């Protein structure tokens, strides 16, 4: 019979969920850092601020994972809160972009790039401009929609998986 020393660490439950939390938190942190650098280079300061918010979300999730491994009751708060915090910043950024509208220099650059091809095909350049604008709006609306699905789903997933930390009679 194999004996287990009392100093050996207790294997946390839901190891797959812990790996998911690790992978998700590190990817959020990495994407936030890259986005902050890109936005900083192009002097898009709202993007830098949103990147800082996203970076905080990744840190909260990483901390929540660590607390979950220790069976700390605050793990649920940090894991679910990080997803809702991230969702807030994604919706905030997309909302600002939708309110401001597409950058006219970007639209003019795209029209200059592909406009002659569309003109030769008999299409109006104004039609191309409206297609670019509607693609911009559709892209950000879809980003909000899928973020609500993903971040909301992940928040719900963490909520359900961490309920083992809350047996009857144990609360924050």
Give dist(CA 36, CA 34) in Å, integer. Answer: 5
For residue 23, CA distances in Å to 29, 48, 62, 100, 157 come to 10, 23, 9, 33, 15
Is the pLDDT at 6 greater than 50, yes or no? Answer: no
Question: What residue segments make up the domains of the chain, in order of their start?
Answer: 15-163
Yes or no: say if 85 and 158 are a contact pair by the CB < 8 Å rule: no
pLDDT band at 31 (very low <50, low <70, confident <90, very high): very high
Amino acid 22: pLDDT: 93
pLDDT band at 66 (very low <50, low <70, confident <90, very high): very high
- For 162, residues 6+ apart whose C-beta sits below 8 A from its C-beta are 68, 75, 76, 79, 80
Amino acid 4: pLDDT: 45
Is the pLDDT at 5 greater than 60, yes or no? Answer: no
pLDDT in tens, 97-130: 899 988 888 788 888 888 788 778 777 878 888 8
């Amino acid at each position: 019979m194999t004996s287990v020393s009392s100093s050996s660490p207790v294997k946390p439950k839901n190891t797959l969920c812990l790996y998911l939390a690790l992978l998700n938190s590190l990817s959020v942190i990495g994407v936030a850092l890259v986005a902050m650098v890109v936005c900083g280079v192009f002097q898009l300061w709202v993007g830098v601020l949103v990147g800082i918010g996203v970076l905080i979300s990744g840190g909260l999730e990483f901390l929540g994972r660590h607390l979950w491994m220790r069976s700390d009751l605050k793990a649920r708060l940090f894991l679910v809160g990080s997803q809702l915090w991230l969702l807030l910043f994604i919706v905030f950024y997309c909302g600002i972009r939708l309110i401001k509208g597409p950058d006219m220099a970007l639209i003019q650059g795209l029209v200059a790039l592909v406009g002659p091809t569309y003109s030769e095909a008999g299409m109006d350049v104004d039609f191309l401009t409206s297609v670019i604008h509607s693609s911009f709006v559709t892209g950000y609306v879809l980003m909000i929609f899928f973020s609500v699905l993903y971040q909301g789903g992940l928040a719900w997933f963490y909520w359900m998986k961490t309920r083992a930390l809350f047996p009857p009679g144990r609360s924050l």
